[in-house]
Structure 1
Amino acid sequence: MSSRPMLSAPSSGRQYAESIAAVTLPERVLDVVEAYEAAGGERDRFVWKWIYRLLPSFTLSSVPQRHASEVRTRKTIFTVFITFLDDLAECNEDSRAFEQIYRSIVWADESTAEPCRDADAEAVAFARQLWNEFEGMIAEAPRFEEFEDVFRYDLRQSLNAMDYSRILNDNVSMANLNGAQHYDSHNMVMFPYADLDLMYSPSFESADLGVVREQLWDLQKMARIGNWLTTWEREINEGDYTAGIVVYALQNDLITLEELEAAGGDDASVTDRIRAYRIEERFLSEWERLRRHVENRDLEAESVDLGALVNGMETVMNHHMASEGYK
């Protein structure tokens, strides 16, 4: 079996966490984070500092330096929005709020029907306000109109991935690895991130769009594996069983849903059992297979460096591994 990729930055988790804590977020991002927290968002600021630090590693090379800071800020704000929705989708008590926001974005349905709880109403109001503000930001991008339809389409796929997780947690018997790999990978929003880059890429040639997207399919799967490897234990404790590692264990009868639910997040023996089957190593091997594939495939683009994008995803994996237990 393959070993974990070697980390290229701080040698210990604690050192790495300290390096992330030292990251300074732009004032506009901080304003959004404070509003997120006031609306009930529970993610630690480590997450936003982590993604802000990491974003340049997989930003398309076609983004010129004069737009780099602006793109980085907007993509961080977009990440806050996406994460907020993802957390709503995975919490049964908040699923109505997710459905209202989903309907608002996907079907442009600004229904005035009141959610069930005051907390839902607050969450919906925050998400709608943040989305409207974000739309206003990216509308200023040099090539917004050219890539707007592509971005909205890719955003719908990401929202659908969240909806899939919501449905799966309500119907865990439908869990299967193909579904997790096909649907859940869109939760990494690699395509929307790239679309935002392209909006700020004056020299990008549209003829390269198909090639870039071809590469993104596998890179998004790699990002999903990295996230699964470092968050599945926390998600089990939260009653979320959608991570590929957990789905694999369920599908292969290595653990039962009854055992997961009985543990209730308080029994380490469940996660210890899953870990004992060395499922993580299977996913690491798949990540490394995908890396070899994207490194060796014969794809060429004139206006963007695909090799740099592949290298960036290795950096993403390094950061995933270094951040295990912190996000």
Structure 2
Amino acid sequence: MGATNSTPGYLTEGERQEVLDAVRNQELPAEVRGVLDDCATGPGDRDRFLWKWTQSVFPHIQLSSVDTRPDDVVATKTIVTMLVSLYDDLIEKHGDRATFDRAALVPFHDNVAVEAPGVDREYIETIERVWTEVDARIRDAPNHDQYRQCFEYDFKQILNAVEYTALLNDTPEVANLKELHVHESYNMSMFVYADIDLMYSTGFDRADLGSLRNAVWHGQQMARIGNWLTTWERELREADYSSGVVVRALENGAVRPETLQSMGDDPAGASPSEVAARIRETGSERHLLERWMRERGRLREFDELIDSVDIDQYASGLETVLKYHLATRGLK
């Protein structure tokens, strides 16, 4: 992967173009297009390149144990990602905490009251429709009942990650890499994706479950770092400071919280491009790429411990995901 010696973090122009062509030529399944068409806000108003990208990478990180309707599994995970984006946007784009708090109940309660002061009824109804689609799809899985509890627990961690991002952006003084890796990484949804895979894995040995979740932890860190490395500059311009690249710069004092908070507002203050240049000088990207490589090594250690999932294949898939992140930097 990468340049001539497959160095993580580097791509030749030919490799980059190969990824771009694959994403642009990716067809979205009818069920995914249907959800997009139904969403007037959220997923429906994003460039479809993002959803083609998502649909393109999921086959690479699908657990090898999936033996039932693998194409349906990929589509389900794309729709789950759309659902997560709706929650993200409520906090990050709209700053609508009242609606978020009510919407967070939707996956866990049959009836959520939407008539309340400050609550966007239409937005919650959109989330309800997307959730209903997800719920119907996973209930049709052969192992749904065995992994439903894991799925619900892990989805709550995604919502917690969204809340942690809001906390960090409101009070960047709290920023530290330890909590970021623990809490915010769940926004990558890797545990929920694994739960869905297991629902469609009739031959999976549940004795491997603890070790598999341990492995997925390292995979989630790899996925999170790949995203951080390639989206932090755009997010910085949007006043989102939750990337590990930015948090490391805060942690080592290269950038101060007040600099971020006044960025673009104070004529005498630093511009986003000036702050980004300062962050690049800290070597944060290199630091995180080295962390990515360590996580990959830890993930591969589980290949000999888990019999019913090919962890080496999973790790190779995450290498491909990093390649897709790098090739599409600035496009999603």
Q: Partner residue of 2:4? A: none
Q: Give the secondary-structure state (helix, strand or coil) at the position aligned to 1:11.
A: helix
Q: Is the 8 A contact 1:147 1:195 kept in 2?
A: yes
Residues 144-189 of structure 1 deviation map (CA, whole Å, 9 limit, x = unaligned): 1111111111111111111111122222211111111110111111
TM-score by length of 2: 0.90
Partner deviation per Cα, 1:204-233 (whole Å, 9 max, x = no partner): 111111111111111111111111001111
Identity percentage of aligned residues: 38
Once the two structures are superposed, residues 48-81 of structure 1 have per-residue CA deviations (whole angstroms, 9 ceiling, x without a partner) of 10010110111010112x5111111111111111
Task: Label 1:32 to 1:173 Cα distance change in 2 as closer, same or farther (>3 A).
Answer: same
User: Using the alignment, how far apart are the partners of 1:223 and 1:309 within structure 2?
Assistant: 12
In the aligned structure 1, how far is the partner of 2:70 from the partner of 2:13? 23
- Alpha-carbon distance, 1:252 to partner: 1.6
Say yes or no: does 1:22 pair with 2:25: yes
1:5 match: 9
Q: 2:313 matched to which residue of 1? A: 308
Query: Does the C-alpha gap of structure 1 residues 311 and 9 become closer, same or farther in structure 2, counting only changes over 3 Å?
Result: farther
Say which structure, 1 or 2, has more relative contact order (CA 8 Å, 6+ apart).
1
Residue 122 of structure 1 deviates from its aligned partner by 1.9
Structure 1 residues without counterparts, runs of 5 or longer? none
Q: For the residues of structure 2 that align with 1:25 and 1:52, how far apart are their CA atoms?
A: 7
The equivalent of 2:282 in structure 1 is 277
Gap change, CA 1:153 and 1:324, over 3 Å in 2: same
Post-superposition CA distance 1:15-58 (Å, at most 9, x none): 6434312111011101111223x124443211110010110111
- How many residues are aligned here? 321
Measured in 2, the distance between the counterparts of 1:26 and 1:217 equals 29
Distance (Å, rounded) in 2 between the aligned partners of 1:316 and 1:204: 24
Q: CA distance change for structure 1 residues 124 and 16 in 2, over 3 Å: closer, same or farther?
A: same
2:100 corresponds, among 80, 98, 101, to 98
8 Å CA contact retained: 1:90, 1:166: yes
* CA distance in 2 between partners of 1:214 and 1:280 (Å): 25
3-state secondary structure, aligned to 2:331: coil
Within the candidate set 75, 78, 81, 2:77 is matched to 75
Matches within 5 A, 1:195-210: 195-210=195-210
Over residues 222-263 of structure 1, what are the superposed CA-to-partner deviations in whole Å (9 max), with x where a residue is unaligned? 111111001111111111111111111112211122222333
Q: CA deviation at 1:301?
A: 1.9
Question: 2: CA distance between counterparts of 1:107 and 1:313?
Answer: 34
In 2, distance between residues paired with 1:325 and 1:230? 7
CA distance in 2, matches of 1:100, 1:39: 17
Provide Cα deviations, 1:107-131, integer angstroms capped at 9, x if missing partner: 66713333526xx322111001211
Task: Assess, with a 3 A threshold, how the Cα gap between structure 1 residues 298 and 81 changes in structure 2: closer, same or farther.
Answer: closer
**In structure 2, distance between residues paired with 1:7 and 1:283:** 17
- RMSD between superposed Cα atoms in Å: 2.2
Q: Secondary structure at the match of 1:93?
A: coil
1:320 match = 325
Residue 3 of structure 2 corresponds to none
CA distance in structure 1 between the partners assigned to 2:185 and 2:311 by the alignment: 20
Contact 1:17/1:326 (8 A) holds in 2: no
Give yes or no for contact 2:61–2:314 (8 Å, CA) kept in 1: yes
- Name the counterpart of 2:300: 295
Q: Superposed, which structure 2 residues align to 1:1-150 within 5 Å?
A: 4-7=8-11, 10-12=14-16, 16-36=19-39, 38-41=40-43, 42-64=45-67, 66-91=68-93, 93-106=95-108, 110-116=112-118, 120-150=120-150
Measured against aligned partners, the alpha-carbon deviations of 1:77-119 in whole angstroms (never above 9, x if no partner) come to: 11111122122222353332222111333566713333526xx
Instruction: Classify the secondary structure of the residue corresponding to 2:15.
Output: coil
CA distance in 1, matches of 2:181, 2:46: 25
Q: Give the match for residue 224 of structure 1.
A: 224
Contact 1:8–1:318 (8 Å) recurs in 2: no
Partner of 2:156: 156
Aligned-partner SS, 1:134? helix
AA aligned opposite 1:217: W
